[in-house]
Amino acid sequence: MRISLQEAADKLREAGRIVVTAHVNPDGDALGSSLALYHLLQKLGKTVQVLIDDDIPDAFGFLPGIEVIAKPDEEKYQADLLVLLDVSMDRVGRVIERCPAPILNIDHHITNDEKADYLYLDADRAATAEIVYQLAGALQVVPDKAAATCIYTGMSTDTGNFRYSNTTPFTMRAAADMIEAGAEPHVVSEALEKRSFKEVQDRARAMQTIEVCADGKIAGLYIGNDLYETLDTTEGFIDGVRIIDTVRVAILMKEVEPGKCRVSMRSKGVDVSSIAASFGGGGHIRAAGCTIEEPLAAAKAKLLAAVEKAV
Ligand code: 5GP
Ligand code: MN
Ligand code: MN
């Protein structure tokens, strides 16, 4: 059931024990939104547990409160409300089965499955963190430095550091508010952009294997499992593909296990969320992803057939 922002805030106010979760393979928005909400709810005296059913990338170690995040274990979690951030019901791993509580879903993905008990969805917001910023207002809680840093990080990562088309005047005003509240842009960006020497070399090698097709409109990096296993990160690789001047759809395909490929897509003017959705994934018009359960060559052929049709 769709609800308003104020109704979402009321649900949070009414609950005493709240579990907060976000999507597996967590990014800056998933983690920033979850921890920001954690800090805001702590201020309201709530008992809050943040559960993420995946490993947390080391790069996010700077986020205030990161140490409170736990993976769900075998026990059941008693809560009055389970909050799903930056995700639908499908990509939260085992959290839903371990936490039998009414579900409040707060999201900005146009592909949200609308299956939660209560859904506040605003696809015009650049990041779920931007909605958490609005929620702070609705809850009448002023973000402290910790919450502001988390909100700023979610907004920064989902907008490519305030460069993508989802960056609005509202985004910039909200970010300015968060800086005023204590977020430090250079601290966030330095933490997120730093790479080891090996990672820089790996990236340079990977970039040499970019393949271009459809008169340059499609460019992709296709990383087989053997190569994937040698890489410490592929974070940011797709940006190196996206910036090619002729490209309308950029692809990063990684065979994360033999026979299982993770796909990221970025676009200029082509709706990649519907391409991703046709493979069971989702996302936004200009940034989407999916998983294709095929070896690299077969997954690549299937994806390219769909992308070629779209460009
Ligand atoms: P990324 O390429 O950065 O992993 O994801 C880009 C966008 O697509 C993000 O908003 C992310 O949440 C969404 N996305 C990526 N993979 C999937 C997926 O498998 N399913 C769904 N529903 N969304 C995805
Ligand atoms: Mn996300
Ligand atoms: Mn997001």
Q: Mean pLDDT in each 10-residue stretch from start to end of the chain (311 residues)?
A: 98 98 97 99 98 97 98 94 97 96 97 97 98 98 98 98 96 98 98 96 96 98 97 94 98 98 96 98 96 98 98 95
C-alpha pair distances (Å), 259 with each of 222, 225, 300: 13, 9, 12
C-alpha pair distances (Å), 135 with each of 13, 46, 238: 11, 15, 32
Would the CB of 286 count as within 6 Å of ligand 1?
no
pLDDT of residue 10: 98
Would the CB of 26 count as within 6 Å of ligand 1?
no
**How many Å apart are CA 70 and CA 67, to the nearest integer?**
8
Tell whether 42 and 170 lie within a shared domain: yes
In sequence order, what are the residues at sequence separation of 6 or more whose Cβ sits closer than 8 angstroms to the Cβ of residue 268? 247, 248, 249, 286
Tell whether 118 and 243 lie within a shared domain: no
**How many Å apart are CA 307 and CA 271, to the nearest integer?**
10
Domain that holds residue 99: 5-192
CA of 65 to the centre of ligand 1 (A): 24
In sequence order, what are the residues at sequence separation of 6 or more whose Cβ sits closer than 8 angstroms to the Cβ of residue 172? 162
Share of the chain residues as helix, strand and coil, in percent rounded to the nearest 5:
40, 20, 40
Tell whether 101 and 68 lie within a shared domain: yes
Tell whether 216 and 166 lie within a shared domain: no
pLDDT of residue 224: 97
pLDDT of residue 301: 98
pLDDT of residue 286: 95
Tell whether 209 and 258 lie within a shared domain: yes
CA of 29 to the centre of ligand 2 (A): 5
At 33, the amino acid letter reads: S
**How many Å apart are CA 93 and CA 134, to the nearest integer?**
27
Name the domain boundary from 192, 214, 247.
Answer: 192
Would the CB of 72 count as within 6 Å of ligand 1?
no
Here the CATH number for the domain that contains residue 37 is: 3.90.1640.10
Tell whether 181 and 55 lie within a shared domain: yes
Tell whether 205 and 181 lie within a shared domain: no
pLDDT of residue 84: 98
Please tell me whether the interface predicted TM-score (ipTM) of this complex is above 0.90.
Answer: yes
Name the domain boundary from 152, 167, 192.
Answer: 192
Three-state DSSP at 15 gives coil
Here the CATH number for the domain that contains residue 251 is: 3.10.310.30
- Total structural domains within the chain: 2
Tell whether 186 and 284 lie within a shared domain: no
CA of 158 to the centre of ligand 3 (A): 6
Tell whether 208 and 171 lie within a shared domain: no
Tokens matching residue 83 = 């909050």
Three-state DSSP at 233 gives coil
Tell whether 45 and 176 lie within a shared domain: yes
Tell whether 215 and 161 lie within a shared domain: no
Check: CB of residue 256 under 8 Å from CB of residue 284.
no
Name the domain boundary from 159, 192, 225.
Answer: 192
CA of 311 to the centre of ligand 1 (A): 20
Which residue minimizes the CA distance to atom 9 of ligand 1? 283
Tell whether 222 and 304 lie within a shared domain: yes
